[in-house]
A = this chain, B = another copy of it.
């Protein structure tokens, strides 16, 4: 019964389409891509595309979902050995981003800033959960604002780090991020508070 796993042809076609999506997103940004572009780049018939995905967004979602699993695993792993301070999601995320820079550029929306909602809500969940652990659930607007604050900051920092590929290591950027998040701008910028 060929029901369960996958036909080689299917796997091959889907892989091609996803790779093409990567290349094109990196090249000219997600919104500028057409289904025709993807099929040409992937060397796949356009009708074939539609037998796998209903449209462009669907392809992106599927691609993201697949890659999200490994991240989930890493985060959970690190979560068990969690220390008193810091987020458990940020470290793995920065490392993963560093290792697969291109892919993350795609996930983050390429040159533009077209963040897919799946990633956003996934990370929001992580952050909210970890903040709740720190706080005890008081559940109020305060928690929600802090969550939004952290999520937005995290995306923007990551986006900057990926685009301007500086020499900062994942550990370094993570340390800076956590310091800003937990101690604020004052601690980081004001005079003699060491950061190194």
Binding site for B on A (CB under 8 A): 31, 113-115, 120, 131, 134-135, 141-146, 148-157, 159-160, 166, 168, 173, 176-177, 180-190, 195
Chain B residues, CB < 8 A from A148: 153, 156-157, 159-160
A55 nearest CB across to chain B (Å): 14
Given A145-B177, A152-B152, A184-B184, list of 19 further CB < 8 A pairs? Answer: A31-B31, A113-B120, A131-B185, A135-B190, A142-B189, A143-B189, A146-B180, A149-B177, A149-B185, A151-B156, A152-B154, A152-B155, A152-B157, A153-B156, A180-B184, A181-B185, A182-B184, A182-B185, A184-B187
5 closest Cβ contacts across the A-B interface? A152-B156, A184-B184, A153-B153, A152-B152, A183-B184
Question: Do A189 and B134 have beta carbons less than 8 Å apart?
Answer: yes
28 residue pairs A–B, Cβ–Cβ below 8 Å: A31-B31, A114-B114, A141-B168, A142-B176, A142-B195, A145-B157, A145-B160, A145-B173, A145-B177, A146-B188, A148-B156, A148-B159, A148-B160, A149-B156, A149-B157, A149-B180, A149-B185, A150-B185, A151-B156, A153-B156, A180-B184, A181-B184, A181-B185, A182-B185, A182-B186, A183-B183, A183-B184, A184-B187
Most B CB contacts (10 A, CB to CB) among A31, A114, A146, A152 go to A152
> A146 CA to B185 CA in the complex, in Å?
7
> A186 CA to B145 CA in the complex, in Å?
14
What is the chain B residue whose CB lies nearest that of A115? Answer: B113
Question: Do A190 and B134 have beta carbons less than 8 Å apart?
Answer: yes
What is the chain B residue whose CB lies nearest that of A168? Answer: B141
A86 nearest CB across to chain B (Å): 11
> A25 CA to B155 CA in the complex, in Å?
24
A5 nearest CB across to chain B (Å): 37
